[in-house]
Amino acid sequence: KQEVTQIPAALSVPEGENLVLNCSFTDSAIYNLQWFRQDPGKGLTSLLLIQSSQREQTSGRLNASLDKSSGRSTLYIAASQPGDSATYLCAPNNQGGKLIFGQGTELSVKP
């Protein structure tokens, strides 16, 4: 059974810092991995989808990497801004087609 762990659980940084959020998963037989952002009381917004054949995927200040064999993905946020404050969730997509979620990293960026 796929288990997903996100470290750290919470992170508070001053504006402008570069950040790394970590995601590890136990079953490496995945099609892809998706990173989401969730604002309080809201739904999930898709940030990046990285296929199992890819090593990296970039969108603006966000860069996601995937090491499928070791069961790890990282989300790199460059030059963080207060508007980046949210909970970030990773979800590997198993071969059964199910997205399995970690508990997320709650990020706070202070002005």
Partner 1 sequence: DGGITQSPKYLFRKEGQNVTLSCEQNLNHDAMYWYRQDPGQGLRLIYYSQIVNDFQKGDIAEGYSVSREKKESFPLTVTSAQKNPTAFYLCASRIEHVNTEAFFGQGTRLTVV
- Site residues, partner 1 (CB under 8 A): 4, 31-32, 34, 36, 41-46, 49, 51, 89, 91, 93, 97-104
Give the 3-state DSSP-derived string for 47-86, with helices as H, strands as E and coil as C. EEEEECCCCEEEECCEEEEEECCCCEEEEEECCCCHHHCE
Question: Nearer Cβ to partner 1, position 25 or 80?
Answer: 25
Least distance to partner 1, CB of residue 46, Å: 6
User: Any idea what the Cα angle at residue 24 is, between residues 46 and 110, rounded to 5°?
Assistant: 60
* Nearest residue (CB) to partner 1, 13 versus 44: 44
Q: Smallest distance from the beta carbon of 26 to partner 1, in angstroms?
A: 14
Task: For residue 82, report the phi and psi dihedrals to the nearest 5 degrees.
Answer: -55, -30
Smaller CB distance to partner 1: residue 31 or 81?
31
